[in-house]
Every structure is written in structure tokens, then in C-alpha cells.
Structure 1
Amino acid sequence: MNRFLSPLLIGLLAAGLVACSKQGPDAAQPAASAAPAASTEGAAVGLAISTLNNPFFVSLKDGAEAEAKAQGVTLITVDAQNDAAKQISNIEDLIQKKVKVILINPADSDAVAGVVKQATDAGIKVVSLDRSVNGAEVTSHIASDNKAGGKLAAEFLLEKIGGKGNVVELEGIPGSSAARERGEGFNAGIAGKTDVKVVAKQPADFDRAKGLSVMENILQGNKNIVGVFAHNDEMALGAIKAIEAAGVKNVVVVGFDATADAVAAVKEGKMAATVQQKPDLIGKMGVETAKKLIDGQTVEKSIPVPLDLVKQ
């Protein structure tokens, strides 16, 4: 009996040891593979851009991507193509992806309020870039002072035209905070100047082609102009083409953003000046702020980005 049981017991003990040795690594393996996945998802940041058909926002994206790489943050960029409905859908997708922070450059400051609330209700921090969100609270807003920039443009334009004459204002996308604030700053800057008359004020949606066509229409009835302020450089460059084609001389054109094409136009003497924002810095600061929020740090409610004037 003892001779029979001893080998059997030895065999059972050996099998038990093998089973235990298998159970240990198999049980530990899922935990080891799950940790990196949670870490990657936790560091994801969404960047909802109004449009990448504009060099200003391409620079903003590039600045954000460079900083995300440096910080080891996964950046998911979505392009609304200046369509508020598409941007809402884009942000809903980012919410489903469970990103930790959404950086939003609104196509329409009012229209995105609802989806921003959805994001914050889901525990996602939202930071607005360049343009503010109306009707919903964000964790932080990173932008240049658009009103100050509009006033800076007005002061320069007044100086160049000698404080008198007919001027044109090309407005950005209606409903966008940038258009509203730059317009307010500009009009505050020329307020009380009785010898200056704004003979036309029309939206051209921050678009170069629209800037061209809108300016062509304005010039049909108002060739006696001495100055143009455009809410961005794309519209200013379009306006310059229209002015040249109409044969109108000595018109002072001031833009906003200091894109590469605009700075080149200033150097060539075609554009008088452009208010210099730093879109790449806005993108960089956006990701820096997102990383702080992911790490549980507090951030300022409003983070200013410095302005300058590029002029002849």
C-alpha cells in the first residue's frame, strides 16, 4: 500500500506545483498589459480646430503638436472646416474617446456651448484657444487681447491716413469672438474721430477669396477710400488684390495675425501693417495647460498671449 501511494502522492504534488506556477504568471499578465493602456488614454488631449484651411490655425496646430510630442501627450486633432455642426460632432467623438482635456478653437462661440457643457459634465476639462466660448464655462481661456489688437490697428491706421478719410472694415465670421472683439477694439479706437468715416463694414468670414470678392463689391460704390482694416490677414490679402485690380492707389491696409504671407506683404510694401499674434505659442501654451490639468495642477482662468505690430 505504501509503495503504491507514494508515487501517486508525488505525482499529485507535482501536478499541483505546475498548476500553481501557471496560475501566477497568467493572473499577473492582464494587470501588466492593462496599465500602459490606461496611462495612454489618460494622457490623451483633443484639439478641436475651427479650420485648417487658414495658415493661422495651421500654425496653432503645429505649435500644439510640437509641445505634445515634447510632453509625451497623445494629441487628437479634429478639423471643423468652419462648420459649427461638424465641430459639435467632432467634440462629441472626443468625449466618446474619453480624452482628459479638450482644447477648443470655436468655429462659432455661441454654437459650441451645449457640447462644451456635455464635455464638462463628463468630467473633461475644456480650454478655449484664441476664440472664447459663450454660454458655457471653460477651465481656462488662452488668447491674445483681441480688443487691444483692434485698437492698436485703429491707432496705426489713423496715424497713416492723417486722421481723416473714408475707411472700410472687413469683418470675420459673424458669431466668432475674434470678429466681435477685434471690431469692438477698432471702432473704439476711431470713436470720436469726426473726420474719419467707415463707409462699409461687411463680413468676409476670415477668408481670402471672400475678402477679394467683398472688397470688389465695396469698391464699385466706394473708390474714394484711404484705409482698410481687416479682422485677419487672409481677408486683408484678398482686399489688396481687389484694390490693385481696381487701380485704386494709396490705400492703407492693416491686417491681423501676422501670418507668413502677410509679413511678406508688409515687407514688399503692399500691406501697411498686421497685428502680430503668435498662433504657434497659443498652441504650445494650450498643451502646456492641458498637461498641468492632467497632472492635477491648477491653472489661471485667463492666460494672455503677447501682441505686437509688424509694420513697414
Structure 2
Amino acid sequence: MRVFAILIFGGAFTLAACGSPVADNASGDLAIGMSVSTLSNPYFVQFRDGAEAAAQLSGVKLTVTDAHNDSSRQADQVRNFTKQRVKAIILNPVDSDAVAPAVKAAGQAGIPVIAADRSVKGSEVAQTVTSDNVAGGKLGAQELAKQLGGKGNVVVLQGTVGTSASRDRDRGFTDGIAAYPKIKVIARQPADFNRAKGRDVMTNLIQRRPDIAGVFASNDEMALGAIQALGNRAGRQVKVVGFDGTPDGIKAVQAGTMAATVAQQPRLIGSRAVNDAIKVARGQAIATSVAVPIKLATKDNAHDFWTF
């Protein structure tokens, strides 16, 4: 568990992309709980950092817990926040369905829940703040098709089963790649948003199908694992497109081993979730759905993404 004690400071952090901080004399009494699916993924470290920075600027107490990709543990974390009577809960679900009962219980206790980066199914939340994952998947499909010249065999590395992000990115990719009849998706396999699993799945795929020309991975960690498996074929004979725009992903794009990554803004998602959690905890109206912009990072523009 990580507790972020609050000090307001000036000039050390700029919310250029994070919206206006919420601050008043009562902020120090406001406690927010946040459960993150996993902090072993660099993307969610950035998400946490954005949330903590916004909490500092607003002068609230933010308690961050790591669910370690365990849906049962995450449900317990949400229940514990509810028992502690925090003023709001920010939830990055391990499993969009499994956490619904705990979310419903929080709502019945009068505690608003904001779903961040992934949605919750089966229970109402005060807000869902995510990237447009369907649009991102389609953008990834279009870029992979461009890299392949509109033809070739491709594979899809899917994220953790049960997450809205994996489903939506896969759906967007499927819709996008359908416009290219000479591109054939020959395999779809989950690798749980994990680099080591991405490497292992890709190793097995290329042993069975050496004719693979392209890879779409639902996050950069899996894409980087696929690149490890491909060795010197990555970026040459096989084009790999990732999703997230993590620092390691951007480095791979600059190196040419990853053709592109659909870049999100995890710090902005985290900071927006905190700022709106503060508002809803005070009874103010917030949007029920927020779509944070995404953009394609390629070798030509990769240097623009280090501020995300």
C-alpha cells in the first residue's frame, strides 16, 4: 500500500495537460482510495504518478494500492476503502466484471467510484475515464496495414481476458483490418499484457508459422516481448505495432524494432480521475464518460511523446 501525504507546492509540477487542480482549505480532510490493477507495468506506474501529482496539487490524501492483477485482492481493496469511509474510490479494474459487486457495495455506502483506463461492467460508476480503445485499435490496424503494404499474415496478442481494454482494442483492430482483404489474421492469443508472456506466445507462434509478417499487440509490454522473440526479424521482416506509448515502447519505435505504438496519456488519465473524484466527493457534477485523446507514435514523431 502506498499513502501519498499531501503538501501543496508551486512550480514543481505543471498541469499543462491535466486540467485545473481542485484546492480549498478543506482539501486536507478529503481522503481518496485508488486500486491499480498492477504496478509492475510501466504504463500503470505513469498512471499512478499522474494521480499522485494531482493529489499533491489539490492537497488531498490519496492512498494507492496494488492489486497485483488479482481480481479477488482488488475486490478486497475496494471493500476496505468502503469500510474506511473514504470520500471517493478510483478503480483501475483487473477484471471489468469481477469487481462489480464491490463497486456496487461502495455505491450503496454513498461512496462514488471512478473507473480509470478500464470500465466496470455490472455496476454503475460515477465516471469512466479512458482512452478511446476502439479507435486506438483501429488506428493500430491502419498503421500495420500501411507498414505491410496492405498484404500479409498477421497475429494479434491480446491482453488479459475480462478487461475492457483488451476487448475494445481487439474489436477496433478487427474492424480496422477488415478494410484490407489481403491481410489475414492467422492467430489471436492472449498474453495478459505481460512482456514475458508476449515473448513466450510469440516464440510459439513463429515456430508454427514462420510466414508471419505483422504483429498487433494490445499493449507495449506484449509488443516488446514479441520483439524479443523475433530477434533481428523485428522491424525488418516482421512489423510490430504496440499500444500505450510507454517509455520502453517509444524507445523501441525510435530504434526501429517497433513500427509504431498507439500512445495513450496515462498521467493525464490518473490526474483527471483524481480531480473529478474530488469534485464528485463534494457533490459537484462530473461527466459520466471521459475519453482522453490518443495519437500514433512513429519513428518520425516519437520524440514528441516523452512528456506524456
TM-score if structure 2 supplies the norm length? 0.87
Q: Which has the higher helix share?
A: 1
For residues 138-157 of structure 1, what are the structure 2 equivalents within 5 Å?
A: 138-157=125-144
Where does residue 269 of structure 1 map in the other structure? 256
Structure 2 Cα separation of the partners of residues 222 and 214 of structure 1: 12
Q: Is residue 207 from structure 1 mapped to residue 194 from structure 2 by the alignment?
A: yes
The alignment partner of 2:96 has SS state of: coil
In 1, Cα distance between the equivalents of 2:278 and 2:243? 29
Q: Are the counterparts in 1 of residues 214 and 239 from structure 2 also a CA contact under 8 Å? A: yes
Structure 1 counterpart of 2:94: 107
Aligned to 2:226: 239
The answer to whether residue 230 in structure 2 is matched with residue 252 in structure 1 is no
Instruction: Output the CA distance in 2 between the equivalents of 1:216 and 1:153.
Output: 22
Matched residue, 1:281: 268
* Change over 3 Å in CA distance of 1:254–1:247 after alignment to 2: closer
Q: What residue number does 2:32 align with?
A: 45
- 2:67 is aligned to 80
Match status 1:166 vs 2:153? yes
**How many angstroms does 1:194 deviate by?**
2.3
Consecutive unaligned residues in structure 2, runs of 5 or more: 1-25, 300-308
The alpha carbon displacement at 1:259 in A equals 0.1
Give me the whole-angstrom Cα distance separating, in 2, the residues matched to 1:209 and 1:92.
32
Matched residue SS, 1:303: strand
What's the counterpart of residue 279 of structure 2?
A: 292
Conserved? CA contact 1:41–1:99, under 8 Å: no
Q: May I ask how many residue pairs the two structures share in their alignment?
A: 274
Shift of 1:295: 2.4
Give the letter aligned to residue 197 of structure 2.
Answer: K
Deviation at 1:84, TM superposition (A): 0.3
Compute the displacement of 1:294 (Å).
2.2
Aligned equivalents of 1:127, 1:79: Cα separation in 2: 16
Backbone CA RMSD of aligned residues: 1.5
Provide the rounded CA distance (Å) in 2 between the counterparts of 1:70 and 1:293. 17
* CA apart distance, 1:303: 1.0
CA distance in 2, matches of 1:183, 1:98: 37
Structure 2 partner of 1:18:
none
Q: Give the CA deviation at 1:58.
A: 0.5
CA contact (8 A) 2:234 2:240 kept: no
1:13 aligned partner: none
**Runs of 5+ consecutive residues of structure 1 not aligned to the other structure:** 1-38
Taking structure 1 as the reference length, the TM-score comes to: 0.85
Is 1:224 aligned to 2:217, yes or no? no
Deviation of residue 92 (structure 1)?
Answer: 0.9
* Aligned-partner residue type, residue 65 of structure 2: V
Q: Which moved more, 1:195-204 or 1:288-297?
A: 288-297
Match runs of 1:27-42 below 5 Å: 42=29
Query: Helix, strand or coil: the match of 2:212?
Result: coil
Tell me which structure has the larger Cα radius of gyration.
1
Q: Counterparts of 1:40 and 1:292 in 2: how far apart (Å)?
A: 11
The answer for the alignment partner of 1:14 in structure 2 is: none
Shift of the 250–116 alpha-carbon distance from structure 1 to 2, 3 Å rule, reads same
CA distance, structure 2, for counterparts of residue 187 and residue 40 of structure 1: 45
Structure 2: how far apart are the matches of 1:67 and 1:247?
38
Is the CA contact (8 Å cut-off) linking 1:219 and 1:246 kept in structure 2?
Answer: no
Do 1:227 and 1:253's aligned partners in 2 also have CA atoms closer than 8 Å?
A: yes
Q: 2:169 aligns with which of 182, 188, 213?
A: 182
Whole-angstrom CA distance in 1 between matches of 2:255 and 2:233: 19
Q: Secondary structure of 1:106's match?
A: coil
Identity value in percent: 50
1:196 aligns with 2:183: yes
Cα displacement (A) at 1:115:
0.4
Say which SS state the counterpart of residue 290 (structure 2) adopts: strand
Question: Could you tell me whether the CA contact under 8 Å between 1:153 and 1:229 is conserved in 2?
Answer: yes
> 2:140 is matched by which residue type in structure 1?
A
Q: Structure 1 pair 280/247, CA: closer, same or farther in 2 (3 Å)?
A: closer
